[in-house]
Chain A
Amino acid sequence: MGSSATALAPDADVEELNSGTAVIEKTAETEKMKLVFVKPVIDTRHTEAAQRLRNWGEKGNNLARALLLPMITFLIVLGIWSFIHAQVSSEIPAPSETWEAAVEIFSDPFYSEGPNDMGIGWQVAYSLGRVLSGFALAVLVGIPVGFIMGVSPVFERAWSPLIQILRPVSPLAWLPIGLLLFKAVNPSAIFVIFITSIWPVIINTFTGVRTIPKDYMNVAKVLQLGTFEITRKILLPATLPHIITGMRLSLSIAWMVIVAAEMLTGGIGIGFYIWDEWNNLNVNSIIVAIGVIGVVGITLESVMQWIQNRFSYPQ
């Protein structure tokens, strides 16, 4: 009996949160319920005052978790920012100035006045285009390579040392090689992203193939599946979650690397935009760009997360 009353109360509280006007009626209803269910139980946990206090606590917790705590952090950061502006370096603009700049930047993000003067929307679009092309190429090459390494010990032994040596190298170190090879900025940046993205894809695909339970392969053997069928019906679905993890890692690193790469290559792109605004001492735009890069990064991450959830299966 007592437990059904406690189960009822939180429900009513959710409604209270959602609509202020309905509160009185609802509480009246739940009050009645409480009277019916709770009165006979003499337990401090079920007295009305204690109940209400507990509800307050729960309500507060939920709110805090969703909004309040991040808000507090945000305010602290704003405080530190204002402090730096006022006391440390006046070259760092005040939050209010940055806000105004942001409003202006976002009022027309897709303006285009020649190749050297485009809105932030275009800058992001160009960067995204490079990241996605490099990433796509890396996936096209990396998955088969990782697959063959996983299946063939000979291939693995032959390629593993090279991959181990190249993997820790900053992808930017490849930029000059790209510039030499392609004699153009755009393909060089794509090349750098390709190099960035390929290692996690290869390594995760490889690990995925290697960690397939032996039982699955025994099933394949008993069924006498051919190489093609084993690949399509067992290897590929079993490794898919690993492959997608690799892709998710690649994409988030690639989005970080593109900013640095474009600072070096120039042209259009969010990286170069930051560099350009730095040369113009437009610190407001730089701060806005940092925010934009973060939001795009989160978006890419959530898309990959969604894909990962879509293709993963519980063991």
Chain B
Amino acid sequence: MKAKPYLSLENVDMNFDTPNGVFQALSDVNLRVAKGEFISLIGHSGCGKSTVLNIVAGLLEASSGGVLLENKEVNKPGPDRAVVFQNHSLLPWLTVCENVRLGVDKVFAKTKNKEERDEWTKETLELVHMTHALDKYPHEISGGMKQRVGIARALAMEPKVLLMDEPFGALDALTRAHLQDSVMEIHSRLKNTVIMITHDVDEAVLLSDRIVMMSNGPSATVGEILNVALPRPRERLAMTDNAEYHRCRSEVLHFLYERQKHVAAA
């Protein structure tokens, strides 16, 4: 028997009621994640990656099966599973600082006093290099900066698991690379457990310890799991001629474009 996992999805099924009958989005999804592990979920559009993430976040409830975090079942949302949303979802009427502070105030209402919470808010924003824009409103900063603040807001809750739903999907390639480096740096410092959804094969290989490749829906499930045996810290440029990197990359590409060819491309 293996050691008890930190986070586990056990036989998760997800059915949605639609006007055309029941649609089975997920069928028997099983996943075990160790503490401090960085997991990527990759798959074609519509394969249910976001559904998996939302179930872990508690924003959706699985039709059957369930999620265990430190051996306790989770079925509603909470700051222990903070989410970085795809389109940042910062509240436009709050400043950068206030957006992060909202979570800090909630999570540390009893454990930290006002000054400590101030300090902690600034510290997390420092982590994502956003202290220069504390009093700016979301519409005053760039897309990449918004996503940084989104990450800071999630990190500030000191989540047990950090969930990221295509966090860099809407960004240009350069900004995306910057943020990936930031996320790697933060992960190496905080050793947090991360589940990230991505479409980007290079992103998945560069960031992850394991890549979970999902089969196509309906009734999507975990197809294969790939171990990325690259030592950390990983350096973007050094990867360009690293054999293991290329092995992983082609492994994922083969899965996506041979075994799970997406017939009805979304």
Contact = CB atoms under 8 A, between A and B. Distances in A.
A221 interface: yes
Contacts of A224: 77-79, 106
Interface in B52-83: 57-59, 76-79, 81-83
A222 B91 contact: no
Contacts of A221: 58-59, 76-77
B77 A315 contact: no
Interface string A59-71: 0000000000000
A218 B89 contact: yes
A230 B93 CA distance: 14
Interface in A190-243: 213, 215-216, 218-219, 221-225, 229, 233-234, 237-238, 240
A230 to B, nearest CB: 11
B91 A237 contact: yes
Interface residues of B, number: 23
Contacts of B139: 313-315
Given A218-B59, A315-B139, A223 B92 contact: no
Given A224-B79, A233-B102, A219 B137 contact: no
Contact of B102 (A218, A223, A240, A314): A223
B85 A215 contact: yes
Contact of B103 (A223, A234, A315): A223
A313 B85 contact: no
B87 interface: yes
A237 B103 CA distance: 17
Nearest to B92: A313
Nearest to A225: B106
Contacts of A222: 57, 59, 77-79, 81-83
A313 B89 CA distance: 14
A161 to B, nearest CB: 25
Interface residues of A, number: 19
B93 A216 contact: no
Contacts of B81: 222
Q: What secondary structure prevails in chain B residues at the interface with A?
A: loop
B106 A223 contact: yes
Contacts of B58: 221
A216 B57 CA distance: 15
Most buried by A among B58, B76, B85, B106: B106
B234 to A, nearest CB: 29
Interface string A280-315: 000000000000000000000000000000000111
A223 B93 contact: no
A233 B87 CA distance: 20
Interface string A138-156: 0000000000000000000
A313 B93 contact: yes
A218 B77 CA distance: 9
Contacts of A313: 92-93, 137, 139
A53 B225 CA distance: 73
Nearest to A237: B93
Contacts of A223: 79, 102-103, 106-107, 157
Given A224-B78, A225-B106, A313-B139, A219 B59 contact: no
A149 B81 CA distance: 31
A313 B92 CA distance: 7
Contact of B89 (A219, A229, A314): A219
A191 B78 CA distance: 47
Contacts of B85: 215, 218-219
Contact of A215 (B76, B79, B82, B87): B87
Contacts of A240: 93
A239 B83 CA distance: 24
Nearest to A223: B106
A238 B57 contact: no
A42 to B, nearest CB: 42
B75 to A, nearest CB: 12
A73 B77 CA distance: 62
Nearest to B57: A222
Interface of B: 57-59, 76-79, 81-83, 85, 87, 89, 91-93, 102-103, 106-107, 137, 139, 157
Interface of A: 213, 215-216, 218-219, 221-225, 229, 233-234, 237-238, 240, 313-315
7 contacts: A219-B85, A221-B77, A222-B81, A237-B91, A237-B93, A314-B139, A315-B139
Given A238-B91, A313-B139, 14 more contacts: A215-B87, A221-B58, A222-B59, A222-B77, A222-B79, A222-B83, A223-B79, A224-B77, A224-B78, A229-B106, A238-B93, A313-B92, A313-B93, A315-B139
Q: Which 8 residue pairs across A and B have the least CB separation, nearest first? A: A215-B89, A314-B139, A221-B77, A237-B93, A313-B92, A223-B106, A222-B77, A313-B93
